[in-house]
Amino acid sequence: MKSHYLLVLSLTLSVAWSANTYAQLAIHGDIIYTSAGESIKDGMLVIRDGKISTIGKASEIRVPDGFRTIKAAVVTPGLIDSHCTVGLSGILNYDHDQDQIERSSPVQPQLRALDAYNSHEELVEWVRSFGITTIHTGHAPGELISGQTLVTKTIGNTVDDNLLCESRALAATLASVALKSGASSPGTRGKMMAMLRAELIKAQEYHSKVQAAEASEEQDPPPRDLRLETLSKVLARELPLMITAHRAQDINNALRLAREFNMEVWLDGGAEAYLLVDEIKQAGVPVIVHPTMIRPNGEYENFSFETAATLAKAGIPIALQAGYEAYVPKTRVVLFEAGMAAANGLSFQQALNAITIDAARLLKIDDRVGSLEVGKDGDVALYDGDPFEYTSHCIGVIINGKVVSEIKR
């Protein structure tokens, strides 16, 4: 009885609290890039209770009384980083703040970014101050299967506060960073693929046993196995397998694996993806293209600044990312990477889409974010000029209708 009463009270309080925290906002932009069709010159965007309630020509929209109006030269949707390790790979770069890779075993699908993401990490604030409101983050490339990724907004006291998806993809690596030396496995590319196939076949068998137990009262289900459960989701196409691969041969291996197990695969990195345009297109696989300014050594040595443009021209879905950095800068800023892609063959709108709506579609969060449309979350970035231009500034960031950054950066 008492607990029931408390529950009702707390629900009431939380509703009141959240209503109070929504600043009722209007944003007046010299130009609003909506990522949903035409941009709007002299546009107005109204956010009510955290959601976009109206968008259109400023001359045709009456801002409700009591709403704060913010002006900016350029307004875009809150930006989305399609793949980074922010929140797991901390600013200090000491062992104790580096949770992006677990070295105890090469295949650990059971690891969840959810349990590793530090919502107070300083680099979350850093990327947010450039207009990045949503990140797809998690375990880094570096092990054959390193763990599950999550999607969150770049604000929140705990990881749970603004989670968009607690398990978005399973991160796998088919690149030399996942190779081991000495007697440890995998030591070769052949062994990497053999180990992945063996694990996926084990998961198929596990899944068969689970299904058999569900169908029959006589058969007990197998003991729960968190590794194989996760891989079963991949096999059921519930969980995409994000495969980091740079060399053409590794990309081709990833496509072969996708065919054999009928998985939803995302290519990550893809330094040599331009060599396999037809194959990638035929496979229907999207590419989260490596940061445009990645250091092009090692497996990136045949990279091109123009890969994003080449893939986009061929009609392959792309998104852009900040990726993972082991040293300095500890994180890249996906706004800068998109700008450099726009300066190397992508159109302005293609580059903006690659960090807004196209990224949202890839991450399956486009019902909430990625464009400025009525009903979507009030996530907005404000700039004092072309957002991609070196000397422009992000002057404001809004998440769920709340101003979360007013740093001019």
Partner 1 sequence: MKFFLLATCIAISCSTALANSPTIAFKNCQLIPIDGPVIENGTLIVSGTKIKAIGKNDETPIPDDAKVIDVSGKVIMPGLVCTHSHIGGPAAGDRSGPIQPGVRVLDSLNILDSGFRRALAGGLTTLNIMPGSGHLSSGQTVYVKLRFGDVMPSTIEDILYVNDEGAPLGGLKMANGTNSMRDAPFPGTRGRSAYLVREQYIRAREYHSKIVDAEGDPAKLPPRDLHLETLIEAMQGKRIVHHHTHRHDDIITVLRLSKEFGFRVVLHHVSEGWKVADEIAAANVPCSMIMIDSPGGKLEARYLRFETGKILEEAGVRTAFHTDDPILDSRYFLRSAAIAVRAGMSREAALDGLTLAGAEMLDLQDQIGSLTPGKDADFIVLNGDPLSIYTKIQETWVGGERVFDRSDPDDRRYAVGGYGTGHDQSPYFCCYDQKQQGGSK
Cβ 104 vs Cβ 153: under 8 Å = no
Rule CB under 8 A: choose which of 164, 332, 370, 371 binds partner 1.
332
- Does 96 help bind partner 1 (rule: CB under 8 A)? no
In whole angstroms, the minimum distance from the beta carbon of 282 to partner 1 comes to: 15
Segment lying near partner 1 (by CB under 8 A), choices 85-93, 166-174, 192-200, 222-230: 85-93
Count of CB atoms situated within 10 Å of the CB of 92: 12
Rule CB under 8 A: choose which of 206, 261, 266, 303 binds partner 1.
303
Nearer to partner 1, 25 or 341 (CB): 341
- Does 325 help bind partner 1 (rule: CB under 8 A)? yes
Rule CB under 8 A: choose which of 342, 362, 372, 395 binds partner 1.
342
Q: Give me 145's structure tokens.
A: 């299967």
- Does 177 help bind partner 1 (rule: CB under 8 A)? no
In whole angstroms, the minimum distance from the beta carbon of 340 to partner 1 comes to: 7
Backbone angles phi, psi at 192, to 5 degrees: -60, -50
Nearer to partner 1, 24 or 302 (CB): 302
State how far the Cα of 283 lies from the Cα of 142, in Å rounded to an integer.
Answer: 25
- Collapsing DSSP states into helix, strand and coil, what is residue 63? coil
Return all residues near 134 (Cβ < 8 A) that are at least 6 apart: 78, 79, 80, 81, 151, 152, 153, 154, 164, 360, 365, 369, 379
Q: Print the binding letters for residues 269-298 with partner 1: x by CB under 8 A, - otherwise.
A: --xx-xx-----------------x-xxx-
In whole angstroms, the minimum distance from the beta carbon of 154 to partner 1 comes to: 14
- Does 199 help bind partner 1 (rule: CB under 8 A)? no
- What is the size of the binding site for partner 1 (CB under 8 A)? 47
In whole angstroms, the minimum distance from the beta carbon of 395 to partner 1 comes to: 12
In whole angstroms, the minimum distance from the beta carbon of 22 to partner 1 comes to: 30
Nearer to partner 1, 50 or 269 (CB): 269
- Does 393 help bind partner 1 (rule: CB under 8 A)? yes
CA distance to 84, 202, 203, 204, 281, per residue, from 216 (Å): 44, 21, 20, 18, 42
Rule CB under 8 A: choose which of 63, 73, 91, 201 binds partner 1.
91
- Does 90 help bind partner 1 (rule: CB under 8 A)? yes
Strand partners, 396: 382
State how far the Cα of 171 lies from the Cα of 106, in Å rounded to an integer.
Answer: 12
State how far the Cα of 170 lies from the Cα of 103, in Å rounded to an integer.
Answer: 16
Nearer to partner 1, 168 or 246 (CB): 246
State how far the Cα of 136 lies from the Cα of 76, in Å rounded to an integer.
Answer: 19
- Does 300 help bind partner 1 (rule: CB under 8 A)? yes
Interaction with partner 1 in 112-141: which residues (CB under 8 A)?
Answer: 122-123, 126-127
At 164, the amino acid letter reads L
- What is the maximum alpha-carbon separation in the chain? 71
Segment lying near partner 1 (by CB under 8 A), choices 133-141, 143-151, 162-170, 385-393: 385-393
For residue 291, give the DSSP letter: P
State how far the Cα of 187 lies from the Cα of 180, in Å rounded to an integer.
Answer: 5
Which is nearest to 137 in space by CA: 70, 89, 83? Answer: 83
Which is nearest to 395 in space by CA: 387, 378, 385, 383? Answer: 383
Helices (H), 148-247: 189-215, 226-235
- Does 321 help bind partner 1 (rule: CB under 8 A)? no
In whole angstroms, the minimum distance from the beta carbon of 290 to partner 1 comes to: 11
Q: Print the binding letters for residues 227-266 with partner 1: x by CB under 8 A, - otherwise.
A: --------------------xx------------------
Interaction site with partner 1 (CB under 8 A):
90-94, 122-123, 126-127, 247-248, 271-272, 274-275, 293, 295-297, 300-306, 325, 327-333, 336, 339-340, 342-344, 388-393, 409
